[in-house]
Amino acid sequence: MEFTIQLIIVLAVLFLGARKGGLALGLFGGIGVVVLVFGFGMTPGNPPIKVMLVMLAVITAGATLQASGGLDVMLQLAEKLLRKHPKHITFLAPLTTLTLTFLCGTGHVVYTMLPIIYDIAIRKGVRPERPMAASTIAAQMGIVTSPVSVAVVSLVAMLSGHAMINGKELDLVQLLSITIPGAICGVLVIGFWSMFRGKNLEDDPEFQEKIKDPEMKKYIYGEDKTLLNNKLPQTYWNAMWIFLSSIAIVAILGAFPELRPVIHGKPLSMVYVIQMFMLTAGAIIFVVAKVKPSAISSNEVFKSGMVALIAVYGVAWMTKTMFGAHIGDIKEVLGGIVAQYPWAYAIVLIFVSKLVNSQGAALAAIVPIALSVGVDPGVIAAFAAACYGYYILPTYPSDLAAISFDRSGTTRIGKFVINHSFIIPGLLGVGTASTVGFILAKLYGII
């Protein structure tokens, strides 16, 4: 009975924090810790310091890249590709946003691309909902493919020290060899399905009725949105290459442990490698591009990253306190179920992701519990894509942005809320990525 009451409290805290959004999720987690410790006499769990430090290093490097203008170069190159092949916008747009997230470590890059995707689609006569909803989903799916995303570095940090069935620890390269093919397959499935969703604009009576009004037609078609006319200075390009080089170095060191220093008889942990090279990349960009410190702390990457960091802090601390006190009972109840049905872990992860609206926070909350009840690290890696479940309800900022940027009104929230433009692409994409991830993990012999 006591466990049930405590679980209700934890879920209520997650629900209220998620509804308030932003920093509230992490702050409300602190309330949960107070209630559990002072109200029920629990021993406080340990905050995920190692995970938070890795996140902080990655966030700082990404924010420095944005402040330097390096991110603008990536966005301009992406637009060139899309405008060169407008007929294939439904496939190319989501693949582009997936790639941008892979390179930058954050799905927030999609905001700049959405008006460009809309402009290309509407002028080519493509129903804007098709590429826009697909691109929003793809941008978030790309988070688990990026070696510098909060979710990936957190997962690598949490699985550090836990051997898989082959006796080895999961490293960054092994994880990405699962998540990258899975995400690409998922996005291709989304793109193919999106080609046939909804009516073509010329056959859509609602759309045709709208454009009968000259003012509405002018509003829907609007003016060209483009980055192509911007001449970017060489320092922007230098910053981009420095950042990409640091990602390449991290990947190489992950693939070849013998290149890392040996500490206490073992290669230096990738948890430290990621921190070192992300901070170093940020420092070099800072000097080379002559970045203003205020520009780093005030940009979108830094702000959204710090929100994710605080969310992980509060949520992970609360859940570790709660479930750590009942770990014996949880093992007894859930251990056998998850061992027999590995996909049950993925279902729980998707549900929690929707509650907390953050892939990093969902992983921080669930992975330590999963490891405690005996879930194999290989299974956790196989279903990494399942940490993206907040497409279920259209409340995430990128979903709302896609709706607002689509002036044609084809990207929308349905009458029953759950029947919105993003749910089927999300289910198809994450479902495919998780299935492919499981198959690859089997082929690699890690589950």
Rg of the chain (C-alpha set): 22
- Residue 50: count other Cβ atoms within 10 Å of its Cβ: 17
Ordered by start, the domain boundaries in the chain are 47-444
Asked whether the CA dihedral 428, 430, 432, 433 is positive or negative, the reply is positive
pLDDT beyond 90 at 148: no
pLDDT confidence bin for 208, thresholds 50/70/90: very high
CA distances 30 to 23, 24, 45, 379, 437, Å, are 11, 10, 12, 30, 34
pLDDT beyond 70 at 44: yes
- Judge whether 98 and 109 are in contact, CB under 8 Å: no
218 burial class (0-12, 13-18, 19+ CB within 10 angstroms)? exposed
- pLDDT one-digit tens code per residue, 57-116: 878 888 898 899 988 888 888 888 888 898 899 999 999 999 988 987 778 778 778 888
Q: What is the pLDDT of residue 385?
A: 97
- Judge whether 128 and 408 are in contact, CB under 8 Å: yes
- Judge whether 207 and 201 are in contact, CB under 8 Å: yes
- Judge whether 89 and 162 are in contact, CB under 8 Å: no
Question: What percent of the chain is modeled with pLDDT above 90?
Answer: 38
Q: What is the pLDDT of residue 339?
A: 67
Average pLDDT, the chain: 86
pLDDT confidence bin for 177, thresholds 50/70/90: very high
| Nearest Cα to Cα of residue 110 among 438, 437, 399, 433 | 399
- CA distance linking residue 364 with residue 356, whole number of Å: 11
pLDDT beyond 80 at 304: no
Q: What is the pLDDT of residue 21?
A: 61
Which two structure tokens, joined as six digits, stand for 21? 């959004």
Greatest mean pLDDT range, 42-46, 207-211, 404-408: 207-211
- Judge whether 388 and 353 are in contact, CB under 8 Å: yes
Q: What is the pLDDT of residue 110?
A: 83
Q: Reduced to 3 states, what is the DSSP secondary structure of residue 348?
A: helix
Within 8 A by CB and 6+ apart from 395, the residues are 357
More confident residue, 357 or 125: 125
pLDDT confidence bin for 18, thresholds 50/70/90: low
- Judge whether 109 and 71 are in contact, CB under 8 Å: yes
- CA distance linking residue 218 with residue 220, whole number of Å: 6
pLDDT beyond 90 at 149: no
Residue whose pair of structure tokens reads 């994880």 in the numeric block: 175
Q: Which of the 8 DSSP states describes residue 35?
A: I
Within 8 A by CB and 6+ apart from 17, the residues are 24, 25, 26, 27, 28, 29, 311, 314, 315, 356
- Helix H or strand E segment including 267: strand 266-267
Within 8 A by CB and 6+ apart from 183, the residues are 98, 138, 141, 142, 144, 145, 385, 429, 433
Within 8 A by CB and 6+ apart from 286, the residues are 64, 68, 296
| Nearest Cα to Cα of residue 244 among 102, 425, 353, 398 | 102
Task: Output phi, psi for 52, to 5 deg.
Answer: -65, -35
- pLDDT one-digit tens code per residue, 250-266: 878 877 778 889 988 87
- Judge whether 140 and 284 are in contact, CB under 8 Å: no
Q: Give the largest CA-CA distance in the chain.
A: 74
- CA distance linking residue 303 with residue 219, whole number of Å: 32
